[in-house]
Every structure is written in C-alpha cells, then in structure tokens.
A and B are shown apart, each in its own frame.
Chain A
Amino acid sequence: MNAVIPIRSDAAGCAEPTVRTERGQREVFCGLTGIIWLHRKIQDAFFLVVGSRTCAHLIQSAAGVMIFAEPRFGTAIIDERDLAGLADCNDELDKVVDKLLSRRPDIRTLFLVGSCPSEVIKLDLSRAAERLSRVHTPRVRVLNYSGSGIETTFTQGEDACLQALVPVLPTLDAQADKRLLVVGTLADVVEDQMRRILADMGITQLDFFPPRNSTDLPAIGPNTRFLLAQPFLADTSLALESRGAQRLAAPFPLGAEGTTLWLQAAASEWGVSKTQFEAVTHAPHQRAEAALARQKVHLAGKKIFFFPDSQLEIPLARFLSRELGMQLAEIGTPYLHRKLMSEELALLPPGSQITEGQHVENQIDRCHAAAPDLVVCGLGLANPLEAQGLTTKWAIELVFTPIQGYEQAADLAELFSRPLRRRIKLAA
C-alpha cells in the first residue's frame, strides 16, 4: 500500500475538466442555513438573523424537525413600522438584543446575521455590532456577517461567519512554535480522531476553527499553517492569510485517499518522516479501505449526477470515482473556486463535466437525459425526481453527518449506497 498517492500519476495527458457556467433559477439554500450546524458547534454563541418572516420560516423549515425547544438562534423580524421609519431600526434592534441577552445569560458571542431584506434596506449591521459590543462588553462580544441569499449560497454562510471571527482571533506570538489550524466545522468525533492522528505524528500544536466555545479562540499569526477541512471557505482563507497564516494546499479529507493527502500536507510541512507517517496512518487507512471495499460492490460502475448544493460536490465526485469506481455524469457546484479546488480538480477523471451556477429546469432536463443511477440533490427536488424513477441522495445530509477522515470514509460511501440498496429492497 502506498500511503501517499502521487497527484496526477494517472492524469498524464488528460483533458482538464470542462466547466459550464449557467444562470437561471437556483434551487439552493441561502447562507442563513449554515446557522443550523454553526449554533450547535459553537456552544456559547447565539445567531440573531435580522430579517423577515421568510428568514425565520426558512431556518425553521430547513431545520426540518424542530428539535430544540429553545434554540441558540432566532430572528429579529423587520416589520412595516421599521420600514416606514416609524421606528428606528437600530433602537429596535438594541431592544431585541437586550431582551435576548437577558433571557440567555449563558451567551458569550452574539452574531448579528444580515439577510436579503436587511441588505436591501442597507441596515448597517457592522455599526450595530460595534455599538452593541461596547454596551455588552465584557460579557458578550457582538459580531456580524451576512447570510443573505443575494450574497451567499448555503455553505458560504459558514465562510462568512468564520471570516467575521478572524479579526478577533488573538495574535500568535512571533516567537511561538509553528501551529496547525484546522479550518471548517467538523463533528466533534472527527476532530478528536484527527487530533489523535496528528499528535501521533508529533503535531501537537493544533487548534480547530471554529472552536466549540467562542471564548476559546485560537491564536494566529505568521507561524500558523492552516488546512481547510471544508471546501467552501474561500473568504475565511483569505482573511487568515491576511493575518499572516499560510494555507497548506491539499485535497479535502473525504475518503481514505483524500484523508491521507490532507494529512500528508501537514506531515510534509512539519517534516514528519515517511516511515512515521506510514506507521501512524497504516492501520486506519487499511481499515477504511477494507470497509470501502464492501461499499464498492454496490457503487462500482454506477453513474452519479450532482445538482449544486454545498460546494462539497467536487471532492465527493473525486472520492466516488477514484475509491468506489463510480462514473461521473454532471458535477454541479454553486461556485467553483479554482485555487482552493486545484488539488481536487487534478484528481478528477479526464473529461469530467462541471457546471457552475444553475438553471434548474435545464439541469433537470440534462439529468433525465443522462439517466444516472443516483442523483445528489436538495430536498426540494428529491421526492419529485424519485417519483420520476430516479434514485436520489439528499445533499444536505452530507453537511450534517460526520464524513471526514478514515473512520468515516465507509460511512460516507454508505450514504450513497443506501438509496440504491433501499430501492432494490422495496422493489423485491
């Protein structure tokens, strides 16, 4: 087994993926949706959307089952009095924040989250955040970002949230040892696994961002090296770089191969020997491959079509084609960030079809024409496509499930094989 798969080894003379850019109706969530996982990850933060009833209804509906009696998110609903100028939006917002913070004394960070209406009426939430921060310091820090649909698509909401946190991260001493920062929300269990593996390689100077507590912010500076654990963090990445941190380019830690290459990027930077790297990764890599082999039976040779959703599509397509032998029809993605994706694009099979943006009606036509065995799409499309005889995988589950790292590689594959196996079971 070769733990380090040389990039482009089998890509000699291959065609670059073709990229089509489309405009039209986009069947995607806006960035507010990220609040659903961010508010569980950062346990002492509250997300206050400043928006309309639609915003409140969106988060509630996207959360699907309403599991939290009192969630750490809410909406300050703008009403006609605010719009008509009968009430001052800033005074109203202050009142809402006062009420909220008195109800929730456990909150340490409050995010004011901008929405489409708040942006169209040009409500300046950054000034509001500064003002409220002054009032509520030191107990609560107030930050702001935009999760609006006119600015952000689905997972870009997390990018905007993390970007807003970067300026308040403490500064890492210039004399301090090199530290690794893993960027992007991961399940706690995945973080723990990665921490163990990296520690076994001797990389113990390690932080995760976002942290589980907003008062536990990692320090950053020129001695920070960071690895993106999620593909949708372009702005956060730039903000970290502007504070001197250096990004370690790597594919994303999906699948055994992706995880290995991702870890390898850190190992190379820290000068971990090949022997030590193999010693640490050998067992989990073997475990992952054995478990993936069982899933490959269901997936090899099957054709998959991705509608755009979370920007995870390209790394997922790479994983499914290289490790599970699936054929790629179209890979839809809301945005293609070529720099952050370059390692992933290099691993895609020659001639892969990528579509950036969306014209949903045309894309559905192409999907039917491609007759895929499995379609990855949002919840708005899944049941209607199923009714037309296609088998679908809800894209949103890929964002809410621990899928990164060796131990989750087969779980990730299983998410794709389950709809296929279910269809066979129910047909029998």
Chain B
Amino acid sequence: MQLTLWTYEGPPHIGAMRVATAMTDVHYVLHAPQGDTYADLLFTMIERLPRRPPVTYTTFQARDLGGDTAELFKNAAREAHERFKPNAMLVGASCTAELIQDDPGGLALALNLPIPVVPLELPAYQRKENWGASETFYHLVRNLVPVGHSRTPLAGRQASCNILGPTALGFRHRDDVKEIQSLLQELGIAVNVVAPLNASVADLRRLAEADFNVVLYPELARTTAQWLQRSCEQPFTQAIPYGVNGTLDFIQEVRTLAGMVDSGKTLADYNQDSRAKWYAKSVDSTYLTGKRVFVFGDATHAIAAARVAHQEMGFEVVGLGTYSREFAREVRDAAKLYGIEALISDDYLEVEDAVKAQHPELLLGTQMERHIAKRLGVPCAVISAPMHVQDFPARYAPQMGFEGANVLFDTWVHPLMMGLEEHLLGMFREDFEFHDGAAPSHLGSGHTVAPQKAAVAQAAVVSGDPASNESSWAPEAEKELKKIPFFVRSKARRNTETFARERGLAQITVETMYEAKAHFSR
C-alpha cells in the first residue's frame, strides 16, 4: 500500500482508452464498476474532444455482484457491436473487475462477433497508464498485421515510414505529428501510416508496407516497433527529434534508414536556420548560462529536455528524474552525462523533497511539479504528461522538430526573470517595487511566482536543519544575507553554513559570507 496524493499516471486501462480513442473505428468494452466512466472526461474535457471515447462500460453495482456480472459483460459487448459497428473490438477489465475474475476476453470470444476481438490483460495493481497504452497498441498490431510481408528493395524508389506512438491524451502529440510529418515530407520520405492517432483498422493492416518505423514516444510504441522489427523486418528510429540537436540526429538517422545520401539541405543549413539557436546565441541570453535546472517527467521527455537544457540553453542540469519505471535504465544513463544520480519515482512527495534539496532556479516538469514550484517559489515550465487542460492550447505548439525547439526555448525562458531585471533586483534591494515577492515584470502583477512566504519558509527549512545549526549567524551577516535576491538566498545561506561547518566556525560573520561566496563561485 502506497500513500498517494497525486498520481503521475492513471491505471493501465486508461492507456488502452488512449489507444482506442485515438483510432477511428475501434471500440473498447470495459468491465468496470459504476464511476469508472469518469475516464470519459479526460478526453471530452481535458483534451476537449468533440466526441465520446469509443468505450462501453458495464458499470456494475453491488446488487449485480450477487448476480451474473458475466452476462452483464456479454450484453454490453453485444450491444456495443450492434450500436457502434466497430471494425475491431478491445475487451478488458478495470481494477475492480480484475478482482471478480469474469474473463472478459473469453466471454467476448464466445460471442463470435464478425470482427477481430483483442482481449487485453492489463494488471491494474502492478502496471500503469503508459504501459497499458503500449500493450494495447502492441496487441492490436499483432492481431491485425500480417507477418512475412515482403517489400521491394529500397534502391530506386521513395522510402516510406510509419510514425508510431501518438495517442489521444498525449502531450502535444497532435502538433508533434504535424511537425514531424512535414519534416519527413521535406526530406522526401513518404509517411505510410501514423498510428494509433487517427488510424483505422485498415491502416494498421498496412503497417508492414513501410520500410521503417519512426518511434516518437518509446513509452507507447517501442514494444510494437520491436515486434515489427522481428516480424516484418522493419527497423525503427532511436533518435527523438526534440531540440535542435535531437532533430538533427533524427534527420541523420532517418536518412540512413531511408538509404539516402545527404542531399539537399545539409545539417549545417538546418542548424543555421534554427530560431532557437539564433535566440540562444544572442548576448541577451547570456544570463541563462549555468542556471540550475531540475528536470522531471516521462522518460522520453525528461531525457530529451535535459539534453536541450544542457546543450542548447547552457543550463546546468542539477536534477533529472522520471516516473516511467519501465525506462529507469535510460534515465540513469542520461543522468550520468551530467554527473548526477537519476530520481526514479512516482511518489510526488519524494519528487518534491528532491527538488527542495537541489534549490533549482528553473523546474522543468509536469503539472505536479508546477505545484512544487509554486510552493518553493521557483519558476517552472511544463514539459510532459500528465495532462492538464492547459496542455491542449489553441495555438500550434509542437515540442518536436525545429518548430518544437523554438517553442521549448520560448516556454522555458518565459517564466524566468530577464537578465537585466535580475541584475537590478540584485543591486537595489531597498526599492519598494523590487521586493522579494515581485514576479518577473513581463508576467504582470497577477503572477506572484515567488510568494515571500514560500521563500521565507524555504529558508527556514534550510536553517532548521539540525546539521546546519552548529554555526550561528551574527546579526550583521543575517542582515547582509537579506540583501541577496530571494531566489538565490537560501542557496547562499546553505553554502555559507556548509562553509562555516567545514571550518568549525562558531559564528557566521559578513566576512564568512563573502569568503563562502568566493569559495563556491562558479
């Protein structure tokens, strides 16, 4: 039993719903108690889809448990087939139905429906949403794709690929697909099928016709891509087109898979044309140098965002973590690049503690980290699911490809105090408008990014640490500390105390503070 306040992922049947809802003619019959229909609103309200998810719930109640819940399931499946006339049906159980063991798969097969019926075994007490989506996609593909399809040799014809991974309720999947499709078109590579998003059963049957697969979201599509590699000899991409460098790697990889020589636009040309790079190179971006950033999200977005933060923004990655346990190894490897230990956890409270300990100047996370950031008074940008109404913006805002890189640059820089403003705040501490609680001026008065209370509380926590109580602060030093901008003050306090402790100083004076500053200066 685990205490959970917020959860990063839903149960695995939500993942199955994301696949079913993404597709055009698949229906999912879910054995589930009354109340589990809440999941519909994820799609109709958070994603604002104009249609109901193609899901029929048996919605059994206590009085049904004494009776025949299996019959209830069979009726629901039969009625769903008659009413919605899908071309394939997924059947499965949610957490409670798993406990009553009615075997939806067996029951549905016994109905002898004239369409493919794909039973899903998604253990709700072990696994979670992304895994559920991945399994669902894999089982659908396995059921529908004919094995042993032969393709003509690549030489002398246009190469084609599938784009695998985008689902309903995905973080900017809609826009990423558009961006990557147009990039592939520009490269002269045909897109055979995009799946599961907007794909039909007939589209899935055609998957083997492509020469290779582009895997945009490994959490959702790697299992499927691996099976297609084994069964249909389709290689798949490893590079994630996230950030300028990631996109360049991706271009190189797909060109190789498509058997193309570097023709037309060179990688250097693309690099030259990038607006994200143009902005990053401008002198007004120097204030971004070495900003301490903590990155947390699903594995793919977290790893890729850390790379962008490090290589393209000039930040220092001080924390990297994921809630995707299935991809812990990849995230651990990535963390080594920055000389840090990865945080693998789906416990919101543990993530909060880790963030607190690192005192980042920017938090790149999920909607949950937005709350952590608010509490700690740290600027934050959202880079990954879980989804929130705000993650389906009206504007075109991909995260992938070159436009995605531009979006990342703007989104991450926006919550930060601009360089000059940051300097002035540091210089004129007494200015009544430049008080601790003042937000970056471009965010307007409505934004109180850093409530004074939070900063004070944070400082209190730091000084309340028994290990740091060994040296006491002289009143003048305490006063001097207050002249340091709030967003670095707790770090200054912590560094000074560490410095004093290491030297066995009983009292921290103004002198100690500046010695510590010189000692820790980067």
Contact = CB atoms under 8 A, between A and B. Distances in A.
B59 A26 contact: yes
B294 interface: no
A124 interface: no
User: What bracket does the count of chain B residues touching chain A fall in?
Assistant: 35 or more
A64 B389 CA distance: 8
A392 B451 CA distance: 39
Nearest to B45: A379
A375 to B, nearest CB: 14
A92 B1 contact: yes
B25 to A, nearest CB: 17
Contacts of A31: 35
Interface in A369-428: 378-384, 386-387
A139 interface: no
Contacts of A65: 388-389
Nearest to A95: B1
B45 A150 contact: no
Contacts of B56: 25
A148 B61 CA distance: 9
A66 interface: yes
Of all A-B residue pairs in the complex, the 5 with the closest CB atoms, nearest first, are A30-B35, A149-B35, A380-B40, A387-B50, A92-B1
B6 A66 contact: yes
A59 to B, nearest CB: 9
Interface string B360-376: 00000001100110110
A52 interface: yes
Interface string B372-390: 1011000000000000110
Interface stretch (B121-129, B220-228, B239-247): B121-129
A116 B5 contact: no
A127 B110 CA distance: 42
Contacts of B389: 64-65
Given A117-B99, A120-B100, A150-B96, A53 B35 contact: no
Contact of A53 (B44, B51, B95, B100): B95
A150 B34 contact: yes
A66 B35 contact: no
Nearest to A379: B41
B158 interface: no
Interface string B125-145: 110100000000000000000
A75 B4 contact: yes
Interface string A85-108: 001010011011001100000000
Given A52-B96, A57-B11, A150-B60, 6 more contacts: A54-B96, A61-B38, A93-B1, A96-B1, A99-B3, A117-B96
B445 interface: no
B10 interface: yes
Interface of B: 1-7, 9-11, 13-14, 33-42, 44-46, 48-52, 56-62, 64-65, 76, 79, 83, 94-96, 99-100, 123-126, 128, 367-368, 371-372, 374-375, 388-389
Contacts of B34: 26, 28, 30, 149-150, 153
Contacts of A99: 3
Given A54-B94, A66-B6, A116 B35 contact: yes
B368 A76 contact: no
A75 B10 CA distance: 13
A57 B14 contact: yes
Contact of A64 (B45, B59, B60, B76): B45
Contacts of B57: 25
A191 to B, nearest CB: 29
A191 B65 CA distance: 41
Contacts of B100: 120
Nearest to A153: B34
Contacts of A78: 1, 125
A383 to B, nearest CB: 5
A249 interface: no
B1 A150 contact: no
B38 A79 contact: no
